[in-house]
Structure 1
């Protein structure tokens, strides 16, 4: 297998796993919760859902960084997760604030994927 083919397949696998993580933890949620006593609205995600999504993305970034370069892992995961999140948010938001959320999701995903995949790649080189 050529390096180009390996990189292309790796990128497709990372994108699929990242979108799968979004769908598994966040993609099915659509409702907000209103506290009857205070009237405070929260959601649409519960804390456990976001924590599970982040942990899953950490695993994907670590495995990706072990096998591929952070220069592949970070951009692919950032674009895939942000696109999946933004598509749902844009379709349910009337205020336009989904774009701010998408920017924050992109920044967080990029930072996390870069650090974790870079650390995994560094660790792999130390083990050799």
Structure 2
């Protein structure tokens, strides 16, 4: 790997990591409360469905751009670790049950699977569009 490629990969990884943590913070990081339905007593939360959908769509966009510009071998581990660490640090600080660790594993697996599919798909589309004439 030459110096230009190394620098581009490092900077790209740092930007993707920062964007991933930013997505977590913008959509989920500020939420700490649970909602209790007064009629049924059912508890839900801490996230509303719209927050999760917004976060997933934002992460998909980051993974797609990252997969287009960089290798999925960079995008997947950076996004997976960045999002999981951000989520787990917050969850661990607000959970008294210890179940945050189970959630962290699920977040890790889900983030790895999602970023793998999206970034690899974007990279594949990029390679195919470069090969096509015209």
TM range (shorter): over 0.9
* 1:20-99 alignment runs, 5 A limit: 20-99=22-101
Cα distance in 2 for partners of 1:106, 1:68 equals: 21
- Residues 106-121 of structure 1 mapped to structure 2, 5 A cutoff: 106-121=108-123
Distance 2:7 2:87 in 1: 28
The gaps in structure 2 that reach 5 residues or longer are none
Q: How many corresponding residue pairs?
A: 128
Alignment TM-score, normalising by the size of structure 1: 0.99
User: Shift of residue 2 of structure 1?
Assistant: 1.2
Q: CA offset at residue 26 of structure 1?
A: 0.3
2:8 is aligned to 6
Structure 1: tracts of 5 or more residues without a match:
none
State the TM-score, normalized to the length of structure 2: 0.94
- Choose 1 or 2 for highest CA Rg: 2
CA RMSD of aligned residues (A): 0.7
